[in-house]
Structure 1
Amino acid sequence: MEAVDQFEGDDCYLDYLDILLGPADSLTNSICSSGGVVDVDFSSSGGAVTQFKECSRKRGQSDLCSRAGTKACREKLRRERLNDRFQDLSSVLEPGRPAKTDKPAILDDAIRVLNQLKNEAQELKETNEKLLEEIKSLKAEKTELREEKLMLKADKEKMEQQLKTVALPPSGFMPAYPAAYHAAANKMPVFPSYGLMPMWHYLPPAACDTSRDHELRPPAA
């Protein structure tokens, strides 16, 4: 009887061992996932209670796992944001067209557009410099025209002053009186600078000859 009881007791221990070793995969997974140490406590009454005690390494491993999960999430979010930025860039480069998904093609388009904008900016800069030079030359020309205008104005005032001085009669000069009457027809003035007086035609040359005046008209004694 004692041998049978001992055998039965051994069977109980084997049952406990089967329970503990049960599915090897599940036990291995549980141990690997928990990272703890399995302690088996056999009581005197034949019952077995499995307890998983967490060691100091469990917390470190769980923190490491959580960190790895957080890093993976951050990487996923970063990739999603990067993809969104590429979609926005494609929409900006080619508005009105469906956004591209090929990142190298999007980068090529961006480089092409940037080079084009750079060339346009350089051309605009050169045009701006030319316009500034033209503005400077126009300002200088405007200044010259203003100075010339002032000089012409001064010359005009000087000439007007001279004309006023010439138009004034000299002191002590009596102006000529106007003619009292006009000369008749076929008459001429005695002196051109004086008033007109009627006069007959010119005398014949014989009447104007004074060579024989001393004979014809001797002087009075």
Structure 2
Amino acid sequence: MQKSISVSNGVKILGSDVADSRFRGRSNSCSKAENKACRERQRRELLNSRFLELSSTLEPDRPATTDKLAILGDAIRVLNQLKSETQDFKEMNEKLSEEIKTLKAEKNELREEKLVLKAEKAKMEQQVKSMTSNIPPPGFMAPHPAAFQAGANKMPVFPGYGYIPMWQYLPPSTCNTSHDHELRPPAA
């Protein structure tokens, strides 16, 4: 049975029975007379749905709550937490940027040092080549040069060797004199 209910602004709303008469009938379309009330109702519904969406976004593992104060408190807490994390990340980013600059400077110094060492290596290799170009190949035996006659108490000079004493090139066991008194007793 349909019953009409009058509302304070003179608009009649149809209800289905007496139990539903205490609720306003809601339709999807609003008439011109109800335009302001309809817009307000839509605004409230939109706000409520946005609050539910915010609640589910803030803490997805918890069931959505309809307590608007709790939702706003959670939103404030999460935003403050995100602000502090953002600040921490900015500070960390600045520190890492400074460290990157330091490492780049160190890398450039190492590159310069590497170039200097390469140049020194090339120079030393050139010196070694120039020194070894005068040395005969291994296995080559040069004829023994004749000695010049030296004066009294003078060492004989061999033209190919200059004043280099030859005992340096003997094996150490030959130069060891610690057992000479046993091997060759002194003559009396």
What's the TM-score, normalizing by structure 1?
A: 0.47
Q: State the partner residue of 1:161.
A: 126
Secondary structure of the residue that 2:60 maps to in structure 1?
Answer: coil
Which AA in structure 1 matches 2:116? Answer: M
- Pick the structure with more helix per residue: 1
Instruction: Please tell me whether residue 84 in structure 1 is matched to residue 30 in structure 2.
Output: no
Deviations 1:136-172 (A, max 9, x none): 11111111111100100000111111222233339xx
Which AA in structure 1 matches 2:69? Answer: P
Aligned-pair distance for 1:93? 1.1
Q: State the partner residue of 1:18.
A: none
Which AA in structure 1 matches 2:110? Answer: L
Identify which of 107, 113, 122 aligns with 2:87: 122
Instruction: Please tell me whether residue 143 in structure 1 is matched to residue 102 in structure 2.
Output: no
Q: State the partner residue of 1:4.
A: none
Aligned-pair distance for 1:68? 4.5
Which AA in structure 1 matches 2:70? Answer: A
Gaps of at least 5 residues in structure 2 are 1-9, 11-30, 145-155, 161-188
Gaps of at least 5 residues in structure 1 are 1-32, 34-65, 180-190, 195-221
Q: State the partner residue of 2:37.
A: 72
Q: State the partner residue of 1:93.
A: 58
**Bigger mean CA offset, 98-107 vs 78-87:** 98-107
Distance in 2 between residues matched to 1:122 and 1:106, nearest whole Å: 24
Number of equivalenced pairs: 116
Which AA in structure 2 matches 1:87? Answer: L
Deviations 1:163-216 (A, max 9, x none): 22233339xxxx97246xxxxxxxxxxx7958xxxxxxxxxxxxxxxxxxxxxx
Bigger Cα Rg: 1
Aligned-pair distance for 1:117? 0.3
Secondary structure of the residue that 2:34 maps to in structure 1?
Answer: helix
> Aligned-pair RMSD on alpha carbons?
2.7
User: In the TM superposition, what are the counterparts of 1:1-221 in structure 2 within 5 Å?
Assistant: 67-169=32-134, 177-178=142-143, 193=158
What's the TM-score, normalizing by structure 2?
A: 0.55
Deviations 1:112-132 (A, max 9, x none): 100000100110111111111
Aligned-pair distance for 1:105? 1.2
